Amino acid sequence: MSSRDRRQDVTIKDVAQAAGVSYATVSRVINNYKHVTPDKRERVVNAMIRLGYVVNQQARSLAGGHSGVIGLLVPDVGNGYIGEVIRGIDAELAANQYDLMLYTTHRHPSKESMYVATLTRGMTDGLLLLLPLNPSAYLDALHQKQFPYVVIDHQGFDDFSPTIIARNFVGAYNAIRYLIDLGHRRIGFVAGTPELASAIERLNGYKQALRDCGLEFDPALVENGDFQQPTAYAAATRLFALADRPTAIFAASDISAFGVYDAAYMAGLRIPQDVSIIGFDDIPQAANTHPRLTTVRQPLYEMGRQATRMLLEEIECPSGVVRRIEFDTELIIRDSCQPLNGLPSSQTVGRGGASV
Amino acid sequence: MSSRDRRQDVTIKDVAQAAGVSYATVSRVINNYKHVTPDKRERVVNAMIRLGYVVNQQARSLAGGHSGVIGLLVPDVGNGYIGEVIRGIDAELAANQYDLMLYTTHRHPSKESMYVATLTRGMTDGLLLLLPLNPSAYLDALHQKQFPYVVIDHQGFDDFSPTIIARNFVGAYNAIRYLIDLGHRRIGFVAGTPELASAIERLNGYKQALRDCGLEFDPALVENGDFQQPTAYAAATRLFALADRPTAIFAASDISAFGVYDAAYMAGLRIPQDVSIIGFDDIPQAANTHPRLTTVRQPLYEMGRQATRMLLEEIECPSGVVRRIEFDTELIIRDSCQPLNGLPSSQTVGRGGASV
DNA sequence: ATGAAAGCGCTAACAG
DNA sequence: CTGTTAGCGCTTTCAT
């Protein structure tokens, strides 16, 4: 089927011949075996360089070696949140000479299982699952197969999956406390996909903060969303149309917050004078909006790195120990909130301040 | 090396046995050969389903079949521009059942050659090169090898590389003409990496527009950049410090434009009242800044799609014809420019207008 | 220490 | 139409 002439590629046999050794020896040199005489090793290395030998990963992994590639499943690409995590993964992978196979599930739970099946059939040495929608469908199998994997941002309901997660509950809790401290009482919440544990945790944090402050939970102030901008726009529009409209809105993601921004502008509400807004994630764009978005920071890049490190360690020396790392979230105060009927709360100067 | 037990995976031999046929027949069924009796085909399919057979891509491609994976080389991930292109690529790939292998060169020209060498050694059926920095080092070889590839966003200096590109010159030209029409005479330019042809084209468009309007080209108004925000910030800061500071700035990318925004705010300049700003790309964030960024739109997503389509066609039925598709750019007028000493130029209402 | 040889799972002739 | 078989390039025993 493939039109190109693979015969022109140089293989270990060519190298062996050129170096005057058996091709098993070449394989040994490539794989850094200890017991090869320096003399032969050098001859082989020279031949490899001279001939421009490049290893064929497929053959290597078929024959039982490792493939040197890690599979990554993400719901989609091109959104800030995922981009940051991928950056972290990519950095760690590159540092360890691993390659990346990227799969987008396009938020189709059924695709997940399919991809997992393919990827674990020799193509990859391990799997990174970001925001899986339907992990129960295959996590058991992976675990049984002892196939290395790490789940990012999904507080699993099992106790055998290595996991990287941020403290979503605390992050949301603190955000709401901050809003309440500013005097807000009617706080709207544009929630995330209820299938995702992180969305639920954020909702719980919201509720708990209200409760701890003696505020009543009003279901009318909570709109379901999906972390995306258009949905958040629609949700916020409904919230702003309420007779007793919220004076502050907490969005389950920065992208949602941008949708809330849009809705506020369309409703003629000024931020933060007429409505305070807080996001979640702290993606790079959050600092480029106007006013700059106050948000709950997740260390996305670092989460990607750590997940990868965890996976690579498990691949290279399997311990069987199930680790779970929780990252702290941090409230990043910028310019999108202010005390109810008060002055801007931002302590910052510069861009945000000057532009008001 | 790999700890998991691959023997538990079901192979075509298992399927063959279960279906009572030779394993070549199973292969034929998998590859949709015409000459297989419906009866046997059905038995094979049933056996595959019953046993949960999943093809091993490595073996398949080693044996001469296609790997079903496309390699993509990008300078980095997580920036809006690249994310959009990847989205397009991903969509087209998914529609055609191809998988994606993603490589980040981290802007190291030397890594490019290395990755290309690895990827063309059986791992992939074709290559997509986005913004290559050092293509001359390997494009010849790829072409000679007849290895399918498509270059995105790099007006090649060769005539044998299939290419997807936007009309950078015209885009920049029109942006400057627009600024001049608004009355601006001192127009600064925060340029892109001079190694990239697109950066040069944009600079040329800038110069030509000036020339056509009888304006003198002032080298002091052009700052070199690298398409990134921090560099653009520094560049714009210098521009704003000029005795005869520019009243408008054209940034070679939207990300650069954000850096210019930062610099303007820090310098206490209002956008667009004190300085007009135009970007290039129209990444999603461009509409989320304040004021919303006027910019030159490249159809990033579509460019990714088309590049992929072109590559897949060449892989599936090699024609040897070198195609080159140029996409039109479009000036998207938002709220970051206004006539010199005049009123806002934006025709839009809603978010932008209401927020001023 | 190193060569010989047996596959890994699959595709692609080649027979029949 | 279908079974047999020879590899694809490499890792990994098993001898030596």
Which tens digits make up the pLDDT trace of A243-258? Answer: 999 999 999 999 999 9
> CB within 8 A of B181, min separation 6: which ones?
none
Asked if pLDDT for residue A285 goes beyond 80, the answer is yes
Asked if pLDDT for residue A72 goes beyond 90, the answer is yes
Q: How far is the CA of A3 from the C1' of D4 (A)?
A: 26
Chain B residue with the nearest C-alpha to that of A52:
B117
Asked if pLDDT for residue B72 goes beyond 90, the answer is yes
Band (pLDDT 50/70/90 cuts) for residue B134 is confident
Band (pLDDT 50/70/90 cuts) for residue A349 is very low
Closest in B59, B78, B84 to A87, CB measured: B78
Homologous superfamily of the A3-55 domain (CATH): lambda repressor-like DNA-binding domains (1.10.260.40)
A311 in contact with chain B, both atoms CB, cutoff 8 A = no
Crossing angle of the two packed helices A38-51 and A12-19, in degrees rounded to 10: 120
pLDDT (0 to 100) of residue A135: 87
B182 and B345 in contact (C-beta within 8 Å)?
yes
Which of the residues A121, A124, A301, A302 would you substitute to probe the B interface, choosing the one with the greatest number of B C-beta atoms within 10 Å? A121
B243 and B220 in contact (C-beta within 8 Å)?
no
Q: How far is the CA of A36 from the C1' of C6 (A)?
A: 22
> Which of chain B's residues have a Cβ under 8 Å away from the Cβ of A290?
289-291, 355
pLDDT (0 to 100) of residue A353: 29
Crossing angle of the two packed helices B80-95 and B254-266, in degrees rounded to 10: 160
A84 in contact with chain B, both atoms CB, cutoff 8 A = yes
Give the model confidence (pLDDT) of A208-241 as tens digits.
999 999 999 999 999 999 999 999 999 999 999 9
Asked if pLDDT for residue B37 goes beyond 90, the answer is yes
Max intra-chain CA distance, chain B = 87
pLDDT (0 to 100) of residue B155: 72
Asked if pLDDT for residue B74 goes beyond 90, the answer is yes
pLDDT (0 to 100) of residue B343: 56
Chain A residue with the nearest C-alpha to that of B145:
A4
Domain ranges of chain B: 3-55, 69-166+300-327, 168-298+330-342
B252 and B227 in contact (C-beta within 8 Å)?
yes
Question: In whole angstroms, what is the distance from residue B15 CA to residue A59 CA?
Answer: 23
Entry pTM: 0.91
Q: Give how far A42 is from chain B: nearest CA, Å.
A: 22
Chain B residue with the nearest C-alpha to that of A147:
B4
CATH code reported for the domain at A69-166+300-327: 3.40.50.2300
- High-pLDDT (> 90) share of chain A, %: 76
Give the model confidence (pLDDT) of B144-184 as tens digits.
888 999 999 987 668 899 999 999 999 999 999 999 999 99
Which nucleotides on chain C have any atom < 7 A from a protein Cβ?
A: 1-13
Question: Domain A168-298+330-342 is in which class?
Answer: alpha beta
Mean of the pLDDT values across residues B32-54?
92
Backbone torsion region of residue B197, taken as left when φ is above 0, otherwise alpha when ψ lies between -120 and 50, otherwise beta:
alpha
Mean of the pLDDT values across residues B110-122?
89
pLDDT (0 to 100) of residue A173: 98
Burial class (CB in 10 A: 0-12, 13-18, 19+), B118: buried
Q: Which nucleotide is nearest to B60 (CA to C1')?
A: C10
Give the model confidence (pLDDT) of B264-317 as tens digits.
999 999 999 999 999 999 999 999 888 899 999 999 999 999 999 999 999 998
Question: In whole angstroms, what is the distance from residue B344 CA to residue A190 CA?
Answer: 33
The tokens for B285 are: 């964030």
Q: In this structure, are strands B69-74 and A330-332 parallel, antiparallel, or unpaired? A: unpaired
Burial A216-254 (b: 16+ CB within 10 A, else e): eeeeebbbebbbbbebbbbbbbebbeeeebbbbbbbbbb
Q: How far is the CA of A11 from the C1' of D10 (A)?
A: 9
* Distances, alpha carbon B339 to alpha carbons A6, A64, B274, B279, in Å: 61, 68, 10, 17
pLDDT (0 to 100) of residue A342: 67
Give the model confidence (pLDDT) of A159-205 as tens digits.
899 999 999 999 999 999 999 999 999 999 999 998 889 999 999 99
Question: In whole angstroms, what is the distance from residue B180 CA to residue B280 CA?
Answer: 17
Band (pLDDT 50/70/90 cuts) for residue B356 is very low
Give the model confidence (pLDDT) of B189-245 as tens digits.
999 999 889 999 999 999 999 999 999 999 999 999 999 999 999 999 999 999 999
Equal CATH topology for A3-55 and A168-298+330-342: no
Please, what is the average pLDDT of chain B? Answer: 90
pLDDT (0 to 100) of residue B8: 64
pLDDT (0 to 100) of residue A6: 52
Kindly write down the DSSP assignment for every residue of A213-267, as one continuous string. Answer: TTPPP-GGGEE---S-HHHHHHHHHHHHHSTT--SEEEESSHHHHHHHHHHHHHT
A146 in contact with chain B, both atoms CB, cutoff 8 A = yes
pLDDT (0 to 100) of residue A156: 67
pLDDT (0 to 100) of residue B344: 52
